[in-house]
Structures are given as C-alpha cells and as structure tokens.
Structure 1
Amino acid sequence: MGRVDPIPDEPAAIADLGGERALVIADYHAGIEQALRYENGVEIASQAERRREHVHRLLDLAEADRLVVLGDFMHSIGGPGGAERGEIEVLLESLSLPVTIVKGNHDGGIESIVDDARSPRTPGSIPEVTVTGGGGCRLGDVGFVHGHGWPDHEALGARVLCMGHEHPCVRLTDEVGGSRVERAWLRGRLVREAFEGRTGVAWNDPELVVFPAFNDLVGGTWINADRDFLCPFLPAGLAGGEAYLLDGTRLGPYDDI
C-alpha cells in the first residue's frame, strides 16, 4: 500500500491506492502556448492534442483506474482563458475513468471549466471529476498536494505524499562545457521538524515525491543551482532527498549534485 512508481522516461507515476491504480501527473498547464504568445511574444502552435494523446497513452500503459492531476491543470492565474478552457473540456470529455484534480495556484477557475464540461449544452459527457482544495487530499495511503501551500492533515498523514509545483530540473554540464537542462524527480523522507506547529497531524514518517512538470514548455526549479524553492516546507522538509532523471538515473543527494 502507498506505493508510487515513476514510469521510466515519463513525467508521470503509477500510485497504488489499495484497490485502485492511479496515473499521477503534475503541472499540465493547459493553454500555455497562448500565454507564451501574449506575455513573451513566442509563437508556438498549440500542443493540446499532443498532450491529450500523451495522457491517453500513459493511462493505457498504467492500466489506470483513476487520473490524478497534482495542480496547475490550467496555466493562466487570473482565470481560465478560451484556449485552456477548451483544452481541458476536450480532455475530460475524452476520458472514461474518475479524475481527481488537486487545486494549484494556477487553478483559480477550474471548477467553472468542470461545470461547463458537465453542462447538457456540451456535446459528450465527462467522468466523475473531483476538485480538491489547495491542501490536497488522501486516497488510500497516498497523499496528494500541489505544493504552493501546506498540506492538510489528511494528506500529510499518508505514507507517501505526492507533490507538484516545483517543476524540478537539473542542469548537466559535459567535459567540453556544454550544458543541458533535464526534468527530474525528488524523493526522500519528510523532516518532521519542518512541520512543527502543524498540530493534529498523525505523523507516519511519509516519503515525499516531487513530480517533474508534465508540460515540457514550463520552466522549473534548478535543484543543483539556485535551489530557489517555491514550496513553504522546502528545502527544510527534505534535507536528505535524492534526485533522479526521468530515465531512472540516480543522481544522489540533490544538494550535492
């Protein structure tokens, strides 16, 4: 119970929820191309169809009973724009299994998208969709949180806590000075002292799994450079964490890379 296994070469994992298998992804950032165009002047064709097909391939590979999105399903912070609203509605309508959306800091209007997708005016139908609060939720022995705030007591009491938000990545340099940036996983035991004052938590010595961003167009936290974490309990809450590349390569303690 409470097992979370990354899928090799993919920014996704399979979670054993005790009776259910969930495909877990983080930071989908639907509609990001529109934001890049208006905010940065970068013209990128919509990759909504590619992202949707990627999710379906992973659901089939995982033989999943549920999809869990660890926040930032949307990209724009101020409210859902037309591109991301359409992308999310089409994705939800294409699914036939329950979906749990953990609300992230970019998901201010996500409930309205789900409600519109349920509307009888919309062609097709959507599966059961649950939107949690920012403190996350717990399914079986696995907790789920976005990471922009503190996990609620239920999520923090799980055996494993899955988190997004950070978009962890590493900058790798070769012997001739060339460099590349790759997405990465962070894993390790949570440090209880980082949660002092969070009363009422049934502490189970949980493992923290920080997910890479599903969307490869977003930036991230360079865990072997600036380490300017966004989460309120990092880095203090993961003093002994290790980093892994998407292909499973173990890089060792992230603060020694």
Structure 2
Amino acid sequence: MDLQPVPGVPALLADGYMVITDLHIGVESGLRSKGFHLTSRTGEMFDAIIAAAGDSVSRLIVIGDVKDSVPGSTKQEYREIPVFFDMLLEHFDRIDVVRGNHDTNIEEFLPGRVDLRPASGLRLDEVGLVHGHTWPSEAVMACDTLVMGHSHPSVMFRDGVGRQTSEPCWLRGRFREADDSRYAKLPDSFIVVPAFNRMLGGSPVNVLDEPLLGPVLTSPYVDLDGSDVYLLDGVCLGKRSDLMIEGRDKSRWKNRTDR
C-alpha cells in the first residue's frame, strides 16, 4: 500500500484514508495557566484537516492524543472536542481514534459515530496504526509498515554561533531482525508522523543523548541511525546518523558568577 505525506502538512495519505496525530486540543488552556495569552487554534486545525483531505478521502484516522490535559480535562476540551468531531463527521464517512497517552476519558468527548480504538493499535491491511506510547498488539506488529505518533519528531539546526532552530519532520526507517523479539513477526518499516498541532514542541530526532519516545523507538528492533529524515515540504535531509549534533552544553552557564 502506498503511504504518502501531504506536501507541507503533517498528514499521511493512503487508499481512501488520511492519518494524523497529536492534535492536543486544549493545549492553550495549559499555556494560559502559565501566563501565555493564546486564542484557540482548534478551528485552524479543522480547516487544515479538510484542506489536506480534499475530495478523495472518506476516512480519517487520528492516532492518539486528541486532547491535551492529563490527568483530568479542561473546560476548553469539553467545549471544543465534541463540536470539532461533529464538524469532521460532516466531511468524512468514518473517523477512527486510536487512544493516546493523553486521551484519558476521551470516550466522554467523542460522538457515537467515532470508532475508538485501543492503545494497542489498529491494523488496516498491511499498515499498523498506533500512537506509540505503548507496545502494539501482536496483530498490529504483524503488518508491513508501522505508523506512529507520540514523539512529535523535529530536526534541530544549529548555526556557527550556536543559534538553534527546529522544524517538524517525518522519520522513515526499517526494523531489524531480532532473535529475542517479543513478537512472532516484526514490520518491515516504520513511519513517525509529526504532530498536527503546530503549537507543540518537538522531540529532536538528531540530538545526541535525547532518545525518542515510546517503547518501539527505544527498542533494539528499529534501525534509527539508518532512518531517513524528511521536512514537511518533502525535502529529504538524509540519514539520521549523518545529521546528529551534540546537545547544547550548559555547563559554562552553571559556573558563571555574573548571572
């Protein structure tokens, strides 16, 4: 099955369906409690989903972290999530939500027509779909390609004077043969999908000593160094192993006496 990112958008297209992850609806409430005055971007995310889907997509699959607050839920989440999915159901014949680690009590928010899937994942033909914070089921791991979220992958750039910027990215790689595998069969390849909500921070995939998130990506089953890093516009930056940089050394700041 052909899996292709939507150019410029953190969304993955397959045969008649589209995959997104990490909406984190309600993140603005948490930031407001820390003194940041932000308006909700939920409407913008809705518009972006509809534009990315176009006319050829009839099924939407959200692989985890619909909501942001954990534990508990915010007024913003109670107010926005049901309306958000009601509006999406006007455009898609079917919507699946794979439970993520932030999706506590998500069933209270979702319209009845939305299919809630367990954290162990969903398999469609030879594609496995999982949030990524827990081990997938045996059936999901028997797929050809495992698609995950959770890590909010980004690539970090550092210039000659130490200024850092980061961009969301896709990570595509392969599984290794593992004699001690907990699974009877491993997928051939994996794809890590960037977070759909642009307000979220990213986990840099190319910084030494900063591991990615989740049991699969931190296991010996995946060849992370040999994986390819892509920007949202489709530019391939190369192998992860060739892009690695050291984390910022903060020790020189710790010892300063003029702070």
Is the TM value for this pair above 0.5?
yes
Q: AA paired with 1:221?
A: S
Secondary structure in 1 aligned to 2:201?
A: coil
Distance in 2 between residues matched to 1:131 and 1:85, nearest whole Å: 17
1:138 aligns with 2:126: no
CA contact (8 A) 1:102 1:137 kept: yes
Distance 1:218 1:192 in 2: 34
Identify the match of residue 220 of structure 1 among 202, 208, 232: 202
Do the aligned partners of 1:169 and 1:212 also contact (CA within 8 Å) in 2? yes
- Match runs of 1:200-239 below 5 Å: 201-203=184-186, 205-226=187-208, 227-235=210-218, 236=220, 237-239=222-224
1:33 Cα offset (Å):
0.3
Q: Residues 202-254 of structure 1: CA distance to partner in whole angstroms, max 9, x if unpaired?
A: 44x42100001101111121111143222112243233211111111111111
CA distance in 2, matches of 1:85, 1:139: 30
CA distance in 2, matches of 1:196, 1:36: 43
Residue 245 of structure 1: aligned partner: 231
Contact kept in structure 2, 1:4 and 1:160, CA below 8 Å: no
Is 2:24 aligned against 1:24?
Answer: no
Deviation at 1:169, TM superposition (A): 0.4
CA RMSD across the alignment: 1.8
What stretches of structure 2 of length at least 5 have no aligned partner? 244-259
- TM-score (ref. length: structure 2): 0.85
Residue 52 of structure 2 aligns to which amino acid in structure 1? L
Matched, 1:100 2:100: no
1:198 matched residue in structure 2: 182
Aligned partner of 2:253 in structure 1 is none
Residues in 2 aligned to 1:149 and 1:174: alpha-carbon distance in whole angstroms: 36
Q: Which amino acid aligns with 1:5?
A: Q
Aligned to 1:154: 139
Structure-2 residue corresponding to 1:49: 43
Q: Measure, in 2, the Cα distance between the counterparts of 1:86 and 1:158.
A: 37
Distance 2:175 2:83 in 1: 37
Check whether the contact 1:169–1:222 (CA below 8 A) recurs between aligned residues: yes
Show CA shifts across 1:103-122 (max 9, x none).
000001111112xx34xxxx
Is the 8 Å Cα contact of residues 24 and 68 (structure 1) preserved in structure 2? Answer: yes
Which of 88, 105, 111 aligns to 1:109? It is 105
Q: Equivalent residue for 1:74?
A: 67
C-alpha displacement of 1:196? 3.2
Q: For residues 55-113 of structure 1, what are the alpha-carbon distances to aligned partners after superposition, in whole Å with 9 as ceiling and x for unaligned?
A: 1111226x211001010011011133221232221121112321111100000111111
SS at match of 2:54: helix
Over 3 Å counting, the alpha-carbon distance change for 1:191 and 1:41 in structure 2 is farther
May I ask how many residue pairs the two structures share in their alignment?
236
Counterpart Cα distance in 2 of 1:51 and 1:30: 9
Q: What is the CA–CA distance in structure 2 between the aligned matches of 1:98 and 1:192, rounded to whole Å? A: 36
Aligned equivalents of 1:232 and 1:85: distance in 2? 30
% identity of equivalent residues: 36
Amino acid at match of 1:225: V
The structure that has the greater radius of gyration is 2
Do 1:67 and 1:99's aligned partners in 2 also have CA atoms closer than 8 Å? yes
Segment of structure 1 superposing worse, 208-217 or 233-242: 233-242
SS in 1 for 2:48: helix
Change (3 A) 1:192 1:30: farther
Greater share of helix residues, 1 or 2? 1
